Chain A
Amino acid sequence: MLDTHALVHDFLNKLKRRKIEGSKGTAKLTAELLRTVISQQRIPNTNQAGALVDAIKAIGEQLVAANPVELAVGNVVRRVLHIIREEDLSLMTSAIGGPSLSVISDDENDVDRDDYPVLSAAAVAASARNALRAPSLQTLLEDMSHSAAVHHSSSSVDDSEEKTKSTDKNSRSRKLKHNVIETVNELIQDIAACHEQIAEQAVEHIHHNEIILTLGSSRTVIEFLCAAKEKKRSFRVFVAEGAPRYEGHILAKELIGRGLQTTVITDSAVFAMISRVNMVIVGAHAVMANGGVIAPVGLNMVALAAQRHAVPFVVLAGIHKLCPLYPHKPEVLLNELRAPSELLDFGEFSNCMDSSTGTGFPLLHVANPAFDYVPPKLVSLFITDNGGHNPSYMYRLIADYYSADDLVLQRKPAS
């Protein structure tokens, strides 16, 4: 137990000091940390899934608070919570199918539960699946009655048959943990392999003699372009340098190293050159539930230029970047201001820093936002590990990977 506390504390510090860069690295470390927590967590015999969920939520709350702008942390926490709920569900449905027949013979006195043993396992499974899915029109009327039925049946399984109870439960608790950790391992592997899976689709989107535009540097984009190069597509790349970090320079060097013809341009020249471009391919920091993109600064401008010239704007994003929240004010709430030294050299401007008006406010301000918000109507296509999607399709992926209960990570105070 002490082990996990130390690990969590360590990770929290790294997040607070922004020592970890890149959503893929953050996501991987978060998933590994949660896996350790799950394996160390001692869980009670009843309601194991609930206990696990509470534990993960507690840690998740702290992690998200440490770095609210790094959405990948919250995404992975919610993924793990969803995995726990799903595994619990599949275990419960397989368990109910067995002992339900014996329950009928045991409980004659209890009038309430007369109806429930009659429910077939299939019906319970179907209703339980409904309970797990986000609320929909289907579950509007059915919801409460069926979830009550599920709880009754699970409790009837628990209460009867004292002898087999303890062995059943122990094996179930071990199974739950085991299944959850297995699935979390798969999640970690998926995160690690997201670049390859996205790059596999490159050859469908890049054709001969095309000109691709990109801004800044993204590992996903590099892999994507090189995969197309491997498949013998010949194309050119325009790289906008991506001030103030000038990561575009690094990207250009790498592309040349892999044998691609590259042209470097300034950010301001994007509008001038975009008419010559066939497609814009960029990476993202995070994708929001409405299909909007949190991307490195400057990409909103590129997206607008692309729309103006009817150039497809393609965003590459691994599934761990998909966030189930809707952005109310993304430019402010999900943005970070980086150091002004990236823009202005302190040595030259040291005399300006002191001069101020009578009230004491400095005359010179430097704003260096890290991210831009690109609204969904400017994005043509999202390429994720499992294929290409429309921005309006994001809600489907969210329903697949996240549970509605986990959107707010704050635990409800015990009443």
Chain B
Amino acid sequence: MWWRSASFILDKNDSFLRDDSETRLLSPPPSSSMAQTLDPNLTISPYYQTRAAHHGVVTSDWLAQAHAAAGRDTATPSSEPEASLNSIGSDNSFSVIDEFNNWRKQPDLAEAVAAIRALASVIRSSQATTMMELQNELKTASDSLKSWDMTSISLTAGCDLFMRYVTRTSAVEYEDFDSAKSRFLERAEKFGEISYKARKIIAMLGQDFIFDGCTILVHGFSRVVLELLKTAAENRKHFRVLCTEGRPDRTGLRLSNELAKLDVPVKLLIDSAVAYSMDEIDMVFVGADGVVESGGIINMMGTYQISLVAKSMDKPVYVAAESYKFARLYPLNQKDMVPALRPIDFGVPIPSKVEVETSARDYTPPQYLTLLFTDLGVLTPSVVSDELIQLYL
């Protein structure tokens, strides 16, 4: 697809040739835009940028405040979409993406919830009088959302889930259009609650597996895993946590901050020290950006590496993910996904002819995972495809 061939020399020559032809017309473009001229799809992933922005600012106090604010916001959701609509008029696709961005900025809100809230705003503002019309509008909005950020799996999964719910419900029961519409809106509003409850359920299920005196390795800053560890700490379990540094997002620093507040003994490791410490580790906990059909997960770069080491040393790898992250993807290898790039700052300037691997995520195949904790219960990786089949086929 993109850079899979081993003939990277030929590819480079191609890029230099193209670059040369452009320099005759313009001054030499900077290195970041070179990537963009090669392939317009290889842009910085907005999903990972948003997460980085969250990490830079988020603390647990701020999270609590934001959550309280979100709770107040749900009582009066109509003010925001109306404002954006009045300014833009009937151009729905614009308002959907703006809506989505507004919701997404709240750090405690999951991607899928933001997506569903944005779609709910489409329903609210829709002038449709028949079910077909409404479904078409929703489909357009959902497609535009998905194409705006193709790298975010929970966004795609959330949109698909809501679209599936709309098409299935309307065909079966309600003869009255208005009651159906209000039903959709109510469910979309409730979805935020479900997502919050989902984290609680997962925390309750997962903390059973933490026994006294165990050592846990955590990679990446997952709000679900944090909730899980919080619940275990509240249940008076004595355990300690090793956090990977999580370059370049410094997720480990964030997480260790939070855990120190809970009085949980934390130790920071550089990413390369995982295999060195794997002996003393009893289990690995990670979150997931998306759970794919094979039962594997897509998560922050480094998860695959850690799972490989854990598997080779016979340590269980537990994944905490909400069920709406299940996506209809089936990656066959690491490059078989939409590339999600994140600029990496090494702190020192790098010579321009040195390439940097900027992918933000990797794919961990199901055979390296032990169990998935979801709000549907504790699942083995083989159950995921069953759930997806039940829903989509």
Given contacts A135-B376, A328-B209, contact A115 B174 (CB under 8 A): yes
CB-nearest residue of chain B to A390? B382
A326 partner residues in chain B, CB cutoff 8 A: 209, 371, 378
Beta-carbon contact of A140 and B371 below 8 Å = no
Q: Would you call A142 and B379 a contact (CB within 8 A)?
A: no
User: Which listed residue (A118, A144, A289, A328) contacts B208, Cβ 8 A?
Assistant: A328
B355 close to chain A: CB less than 8 A: no
Distance A119 CA – B180 CA, assembled complex (angstroms): 13
Partner of A328, one of B174, B175, B211: B211
> What is the bound-complex CA distance between A60 and B104, given in angstroms?
47
A140 contacts across to B, CB distance below 8 A: 161, 194, 323-324
Number of A-B contacts (CB under 8 A): 69
Instruction: Give the interface segment out of B39-47, B125-133, B329-337, B385-393.
Output: B385-393
Tell me whether B211 and A137 are in contact (CB under 8 A).
no
Q: Which of B68-76, B165-173, B223-231, B339-347 contacts A (4 or more CB under 8 A)?
A: B165-173
Query: A404 and B377: CB pair below 8 A?
Result: yes
Q: How far is the CB of A7 from chain B (nearest CB, A)?
A: 33
Q: Which residue of B lies closest to A407 (CB)?
A: B377
| Contact residues in A for B208 (Cβ distance below 8 Å) | 328
B191 within 8 A of A: yes
B: interface residue count bin: 35 or more
Query: CB of B221 within 8 A of chain A?
Result: no
Q: Among A137, A376, A393, which residue has its beta carbon within 8 angstroms of that of B387?
A: A137
- Given known pairs A123-B172, A141-B191, A290-B371, the reply for A134 and B377 (CB within 8 Å) is yes
Chain A contacts for B161, CB-based, 8 A: 137, 140-141
- Min C-beta distance of B385 to chain A, whole Å: 11
For A142, list chain B residues within 8 Å (CB). 165, 169, 187
- How many Å lie between the Cα of A393 and that of B161 in the bound state? 25
Q: Would A395 and B380 be within 8 Å (CB), given that A115-B176, A137-B388, A145-B187 are in contact?
A: yes
Our pick among B179, B323, B383, B388 for the contact of A395 (Cβ within 8 Å) is B383
Measured between beta carbons, the chain B residues less than 8 angstroms from A118 are 173-175
Task: Tell me, rounded to whole Å, the shortest Cβ–Cβ distance linking A280 to chain B.
Answer: 22
Known: A137-B323, A140-B194. 19 other contacts (CB 8 A): A115-B174, A115-B179, A120-B173, A134-B376, A137-B324, A137-B326, A137-B376, A141-B161, A142-B187, A145-B187, A289-B378, A290-B371, A290-B380, A291-B380, A326-B371, A328-B208, A328-B211, A395-B379, A395-B386
Binding site for A on B (CB under 8 A): 161-162, 165, 169, 172-176, 179, 183, 186-187, 190-191, 194, 208-209, 211, 323-324, 326, 371, 375-380, 382-383, 386-388, 390-391
Which A residues are closer than 8 A to B by beta carbons? Answer: 115, 118-120, 123, 134-138, 140-142, 144-145, 289-291, 326, 328-329, 376, 392-393, 395-396, 404
A-B contacts, 13 of them at CB < 8 A, read: A118-B174, A118-B175, A123-B172, A136-B376, A137-B161, A140-B323, A141-B191, A145-B187, A289-B378, A291-B380, A329-B211, A395-B383, A404-B377
